[in-house]
Chain A
């Protein structure tokens, strides 16, 4: 912040004055490791910085570009290069997950939490967890729905795991790729203030999928209304994270293109949720007494005719 910069200048002023008065003295200043690296390594958020992290994030977009360039300096064929994508601590991952589940209106997920330190740990393991959660929950829900029927024989449905894995990993990696390509193309035509790197987009998508994990577990409940309410709720939460992230990147563009982009993002996200619900979870059947009634009618007709 400006105040911190001014205060550090003030310290230099004091030191300079002291040195001028007594040239032989050595001044020792003990202060925290400078504020700038805090920005770089994505440490815990100070409350005072929240004014800076508005939706635009224009003040540190230049800095983040510079710092992003400084960070990944190892050549891509060394192991150290890939280690830079896993440079997160436990509390950072937990913070990012918390930010995706409780999106604060007006705060940009990328600027607030990722802050030029995108990681691949979150996207990869959240997708893996989601794959197995959906497969296991779907299997359990089908088991409970069909339980008690005499003709039902339990099957583990293991094939669905590979289908779930393909779908979710394709969504979490190909859609960001397409979106990144699209944004780069628009950037070449319209000067956008905010632009994201490919890894940041992958990161946002990965963390936004987290809210589907408890949703998938709750989908075991065999009530249609409950399931659709859950779909709407989780779509609102994770969709809002995505919308608040990408709206600033397209709003300087043509109105129609901006709305179309954000609309496509939301529609694809909804398709994923609805598609998983439809494919992995059988519809809860309602037990109708229909087979009983015709027999009753037939028997009454027969007795009447006699």
Chain B
């Protein structure tokens, strides 16, 4: 070690270079340049990101896209379309009917927030909006089930149609729960996984019940 003490940098050797953070400067450049791009490009980029996440929900493999680049557009679109389709359930009196738009909206968002808080309080390492994003995107199978139910109800509302609707809703409920568990379970402490998964199960069960009991006018 004594030899190294004699090393010194002479003035002949130029010391130069760039100190930049490659990733940071990239996004900085992009931020400045996206102002000039056509609006269509901006919208298409976001739409593609949302579409990619839909595909990830349909085939839930171990991918971190849903978690890393979270967004809440997809959940909003799904929630609004589900609430619109669930509206208009009939009743003789206002009190006995199905859920109204605002009720479905509140149940989905309030339910997702409560489940996220629950998982964070139990010691989960996932961030608040990532969890909201996953729970919202995993409502998609149930939205598809609602669409199918409405189409089946157009054809008729007898026992056969009820059985078809029951099978479809149960299958989509299982899909939703499994998809969201696949994304969320890893971020939980191992001896509390069941405590975190159960509220997710309850959440999708309530949504499935609302879909199954939908009766048109």
User: Which A residues fall within an 8 A CB radius of B?
Assistant: 79, 82-83, 85-86, 88-91, 93, 121, 125, 128-129, 132, 136, 139, 153-159
Contacts and interface: CB of A to CB of B under 8 A. Distances in A.
B12 interface: no
Contact of B206 (A88, A90, A93, A132): A132
Contacts of A139: 213
16 contacts: A86-B118, A89-B191, A89-B195, A90-B194, A93-B195, A121-B118, A125-B198, A125-B199, A132-B202, A132-B209, A155-B91, A156-B97, A156-B214, A158-B210, A159-B96, A159-B97
A275 B97 CA distance: 22
Contacts of A153: 90, 92, 215
Query: Interface residues of B toward A: which range?
Result: 20 to 34
Interface in B173-203: 191-195, 198-199, 202
A203 to B, nearest CB: 15
Contacts of A154: 213, 215
Contacts of A93: 195
B99 interface: yes
A85 B121 contact: yes
Given A91-B191, A155-B97, A158-B103, A128 B122 contact: no
B98 interface: yes
A157 B118 contact: no
Interface string B14-35: 0000000000000000000000
The 6 closest A-B pairs by CB, nearest first: A155-B96, A86-B121, A156-B213, A89-B191, A156-B98, A90-B194
Contacts of A159: 95-97
Given A88-B195, A91-B191, A156 B206 contact: no
Contacts of B199: 125, 128
B88 interface: no
A125 B197 CA distance: 12
B104 to A, nearest CB: 10
A155 B92 contact: yes
A129 to B, nearest CB: 6
A125 B210 CA distance: 20
A204 to B, nearest CB: 19
A155 B213 CA distance: 8
Interface in B64-79: none
B215 A121 contact: no
Interface string B74-118: 000000000000000111100111110001000000000000001
Given A129-B202, A136-B209, A156 B89 contact: yes
Contacts of B202: 125, 128-129, 132
A128 B111 CA distance: 11
Contacts of A136: 209
B123 interface: yes
Nearest to A86: B121
Nearest to B123: A83
Nearest to B122: A86
Contacts of A156: 89, 91, 96-99, 210, 213-215
A165 to B, nearest CB: 11
A79 B89 CA distance: 41
Interface string B120-132: 1111000000000
B16 to A, nearest CB: 47
A125 B196 CA distance: 11
The residue among A128, A154, A158 with the most chain B CB atoms within 10 A of its own CB is A158
B97 to A, nearest CB: 6
Nearest to B107: A161
B95 A121 contact: no
Contacts of A86: 118, 121-123
A156 B215 CA distance: 8
Contacts of B91: 155-156
A128 B97 CA distance: 21
A121 B122 contact: yes
